[in-house]
Amino acid sequence: MKKIFTSILILTILCSLIIFPANAVEKYNASANETVIDVEYLENGDYIVTTIDNSLPEPDVNTPNATTVTKTKTKNYYNSAGNVMWYIKVQGTFTYNGTSSKCTSAAHKAAALGTSWSIKSASSSKSGNTATAKAVAVHKTSYGNKEYSASVTIKCSKTGVIS
């Protein structure tokens, strides 16, 4: 009897591990211009969904041998009920020509959507072919405040592949 109970318990846990990731992605309603890059699951049941826009780049008429593209990558922090509590977004503008790429500008946006959440700080930077945004969010509870930090990085390859 003990073996049957243990087998059922293990099977239930394995099924919940397999089913939960699919549910998290299904809860996120990606638009036609977004691709889900990553889903990170937290111990408390919350999860973070990272997306990148997949709209087509527009060529820069000022530099005919190079192409300029602007893309956005976002990390959304969801509670276990599937509601966005806060997010951090980086927007990078890149030039590439087949042999090299460069980030020409970086911008960020961070916002708290949950009623007990706020953004303490947010910043962005660029280096080489990379744009990065960082943010610290604060969750206010009856037990005190807890800070969560996140960063999101977007890169451009020499051929214009954004990751």
33-79 confidence digits (pLDDT tens):
668 888 999 888 899 998 888 765 554 545 556 688 899 999 999 99
Position with higher pLDDT, 36 vs 27:
36
Q: How many CB atoms lie within 10 A of CB 90?
A: 28
Distance, in Å, from the CA atom of 160 to the CA atom of 53, rounded to the nearest integer, reads 14
Reference 95, options 47, 151, 57; nearest CA is: 57
Residue 19 backbone phi and psi in degrees, to 5:
-75, -40
Q: Give the pLDDT confidence score for residue 27 in this predicted structure.
A: 47
pLDDT in tens, 118-162: 999 999 999 999 999 999 999 998 999 999 999 999 999 999 889
Written as six digits, the tokens of 93 are 């503008």
Fold of 2-155: Immunoglobulin-like (2.60.40)
User: CA-to-CA distance for 81 and 97, rounded, in angstroms?
Assistant: 44
- Report the alpha-carbon distance of residue 2 to residue 91 in Å, rounded: 55
Sign of CA dihedral 53, 59, 61, 63: positive
pTM score: 0.74
Q: How confident is the model at residue 9 (pLDDT cuts 50, 70, 90)?
A: very low
